[in-house]
Structure 1
């Protein structure tokens, strides 16, 4: 992809198709994307990122243009070796990355990483897999919620150290340091099945989290009384059936769906929702419209979905929200985070979103990554969060409708 980006970047102009950006009041949904070429879509995200970070497009391409290739390799190795894959990270300076394995690295790792146009280190003998970290976090987090005196819990893990950290909010506020320590001691130690994985329990005054279920990104969702509410992320499929996905907490039994630039709507009905171990997701019927394989990545502008991928730590992923608009610079802080009722969430490096953005798409170029949920405070910092679309089959028995 990087070579394609460089070729497109040096062109005098970027050709964007002249499809209409909005639908008229009487027009049906049409599958006509504004941007059709994958390299153009990726380049547009990099232009947006460069604007937000105050750098040149050339600098953005050099620092971020290789990440799509890196994520593709990491995803391939994760899917092929789920029991030994121990995570992947983009270096903070954006010049390299690494992919780790619990024991011996598979023979294909060196060959695959060599094709990435920046140095990628293959780390062996990490001692634990990322799936072990994920399962330890999930078990610990939901176990804490069942403990007497616990109001809420939030947690993450560090793939470099193998430490799972869970912050627990007491049901009754504790101001005395000794009382906090007694509370913590009652919950700790927690031992993982793999001794190489360590669990740290911390006491927080409050586990802060929230949804942004007012209005959304993608196509707009309103309540049946016309009040603005949420938006859609991507269209989805289940066998021959088609539908549209959003956040579970947007899921009233019926909603109105509107395209950008029109007051016409169709009423859609909830099929199913999941608020739990695989995130905050739900899906609806398409009402009187036909499901498109495109999504709004900006106001009145559409792209195809050509692929889905697991998020990778440090990678820049774009988002569109009804309130905050198109954003290109968010970066992944942690994957498979737990908080409240949810696990398998992705937390970003900071809070980019606002009330009304829930349910919207997280993506890069033509690749779908997630469905916006809200935010959580981890490590003392407020962070936007999303549910990974790769978990939709487990959560709802659906998948993203791709080109």
Structure 2
């Protein structure tokens, strides 16, 4: 049942403050209370989720029980967020899954839009089993900020010689935060500062772009942020990468991998026939490619070196910071889990190509050879592994991969 405090809702519409949505712990009360929405109880955890919690516990250094608590409700929130974003894509700014971050506070997750308050968006979250903060005070939409980020980074990249250039959007202020690493010949003045002349030129470029930007642009020098595509070399063709999820297009069934991997035909492990390159994309929708196969193709995912597997039954939009995600790659015995650091990360790769809409995680456990591998949680497909950007494991988000390659991940 939805309970609205009219006085509070009117104030929100007038001044563009935040709407707070409450789960079962909340109820409408005195004047000044937020918009309150009650939800249902959490359901039990699957075996896959229990295993994922153990993997996340190892990465975070917490108990399996603490890690499992991070997962509770994540899938329900992502499903609600996907619907809300689809209803107003031109207004969406960002969202964050925050279990434990606001312990004792009024919400467990938050999502933010630009523009006036809209009850129809709030209603997507009314049946969640916990409180969700729905905000309508973003300085601009993520799409509008991305246009500015792309322009600023393109002008910086073309102005000099850089080993690394990354850009993120601050989830609180919307500010574009760009890091610059001068090329090896640029003679860094210190371990953390680029030459003054180079930074002065960059700041001049940024000031020009910022003049018409709805948000601030902040630039800082950095070292160790050069992108690392995690492929193997030495004549190892496509076998130097890891296959991601099985998928199909209008003609073929096969599997996904990373676009920077070789296009040379290879026979994957546990297969009897070679796979053949069909299509790839390297750019504003990430780094991914599609291969066709004549083998029987099923919605199964290999998750360890001993033949362990799980079925994939859904594809999940991961336009949210803080969610837990897992990855398996050919260089490791078991899969590992971590959390999303920046859901819309951008950088220039080693070929000078601008990659955006990438999800940068807090993990560092991936290695050369893991490129193309799957990012997942429970039975959901989340993304295709790129490598490392800014020193952190990074992937292409699965909905972007499907859209740009005209494929669909197999879920049955």
Tell me how far 1:63 sits from its aligned partner.
Answer: 2.9
1:355 partnered with 2:368: yes
1:242 partnered with 2:253: yes
How big is each residue's C-alpha offset from its partner over 1:60-79, in whole Å with a ceiling of 9 and x where there is no partner?
Answer: 33332221111111122112
Per the alignment, residue 201 of structure 1 pairs with: 219
Root-mean-square deviation (CA, aligned residues, Å) is 2.6
> 1:304 and 1:105 mapped to 2: Cα distance?
40
**Number of positions where the alignment pairs a residue of Structure 1 with one of Structure 2:** 354
Per the alignment, residue 257 of structure 1 pairs with: 268
Per the alignment, residue 384 of structure 1 pairs with: 393
CA contact (8 A) 1:319 1:361 kept: yes
CA contact (8 A) 2:246 2:298 kept: yes
Summarize the alignment of residues 28-39 of structure 1 with structure 2, pairs less than 5 Å apart. 39=46
How big is each residue's C-alpha offset from its partner over 1:121-174, in whole Å with a ceiling of 9 and x where there is no partner?
Answer: 111122211222233223322333233445542211112111112223345414
Say which is worse superposed, 204-213 or 304-313, in terms of deviation. 204-213
Per the alignment, residue 87 of structure 1 pairs with: 94
> Cα 1:291–1:142, aligned 2, differ >3 Å: closer, same or farther?
farther
Per the alignment, residue 40 of structure 1 pairs with: 47
User: SS of the residue aligned with 1:89?
Assistant: strand
Per the alignment, residue 324 of structure 1 pairs with: 332
Say which is worse superposed, 206-215 or 315-324, in terms of deviation. 206-215
User: SS of the residue aligned with 1:321?
Assistant: coil
> Cα 1:197–1:73, aligned 2, differ >3 Å: closer, same or farther?
same
TM-score, normalisation: structure 1: 0.80
Per the alignment, residue 233 of structure 1 pairs with: 244
> Cα 1:112–1:326, aligned 2, differ >3 Å: closer, same or farther?
farther
Per the alignment, residue 369 of structure 1 pairs with: 382
Tell me how far 1:245 sits from its aligned partner.
Answer: 0.6
> Cα 1:61–1:151, aligned 2, differ >3 Å: closer, same or farther?
closer
> Cα 1:115–1:47, aligned 2, differ >3 Å: closer, same or farther?
farther
User: SS of the residue aligned with 1:133?
Assistant: helix
User: SS of the residue aligned with 1:283?
Assistant: strand
The match for 2:147 among 115, 135, 138 is: 135
> Cα 1:76–1:392, aligned 2, differ >3 Å: closer, same or farther?
same
> Cα 1:150–1:187, aligned 2, differ >3 Å: closer, same or farther?
farther
User: SS of the residue aligned with 1:139?
Assistant: helix
Per the alignment, residue 356 of structure 2 pairs with: 343
Per the alignment, residue 197 of structure 2 pairs with: 179
> 2:61 and 2:205 mapped to 1: Cα distance?
46
How big is each residue's C-alpha offset from its partner over 1:262-291, in whole Å with a ceiling of 9 and x where there is no partner?
Answer: xx64211111221111111111111x3121
Per the alignment, residue 268 of structure 1 pairs with: 275
Tell me how far 1:297 sits from its aligned partner.
Answer: 2.5
Per the alignment, residue 43 of structure 2 pairs with: 4
CA contact (8 A) 1:46 1:328 kept: no
> Cα 1:82–1:51, aligned 2, differ >3 Å: closer, same or farther?
same
Per the alignment, residue 176 of structure 2 pairs with: 164
CA contact (8 A) 2:280 2:288 kept: yes
> 1:181 and 1:193 mapped to 2: Cα distance?
18
Unmatched tracts of structure 2, length 5 or more: 1-39, 190-194
Say which is worse superposed, 201-210 or 307-316, in terms of deviation. 201-210
TM-score, normalisation: structure 2: 0.78
CA contact (8 A) 1:130 1:159 kept: no
> Cα 1:57–1:393, aligned 2, differ >3 Å: closer, same or farther?
closer
Per the alignment, residue 295 of structure 2 pairs with: 289
Tell me how far 1:336 sits from its aligned partner.
Answer: 1.9
> Cα 1:204–1:45, aligned 2, differ >3 Å: closer, same or farther?
closer
Tell me how far 1:183 sits from its aligned partner.
Answer: 2.6
CA contact (8 A) 1:153 1:167 kept: yes
How big is each residue's C-alpha offset from its partner over 1:224-262, in whole Å with a ceiling of 9 and x where there is no partner?
Answer: 7xx951121011111142121101122332122122xxx
Per the alignment, residue 305 of structure 1 pairs with: 312
> Cα 1:162–1:320, aligned 2, differ >3 Å: closer, same or farther?
same
Between 1 and 2, higher relative CO (CA 8 Å, sep ≥ 6) is seen in 1
1:334 partnered with 2:342: yes
The match for 2:157 among 145, 149, 154 is: 145
> 1:185 and 1:139 mapped to 2: Cα distance?
14
Tell me how far 1:295 sits from its aligned partner.
Answer: 1.2
1:72 partnered with 2:84: no
> 2:176 and 2:402 mapped to 1: Cα distance?
26
Unmatched tracts of structure 1, length 5 or more: 9-38, 216-221
Instruction: Choose between structure 1 and 2: higher strand proportion.
Output: 1
CA contact (8 A) 1:190 1:199 kept: no
Summarize the alignment of residues 208-227 of structure 1 with structure 2, pairs less than 5 Å apart. 208-214=226-232, 223=236
Per the alignment, residue 21 of structure 1 pairs with: none
Per the alignment, residue 315 of structure 1 pairs with: 323
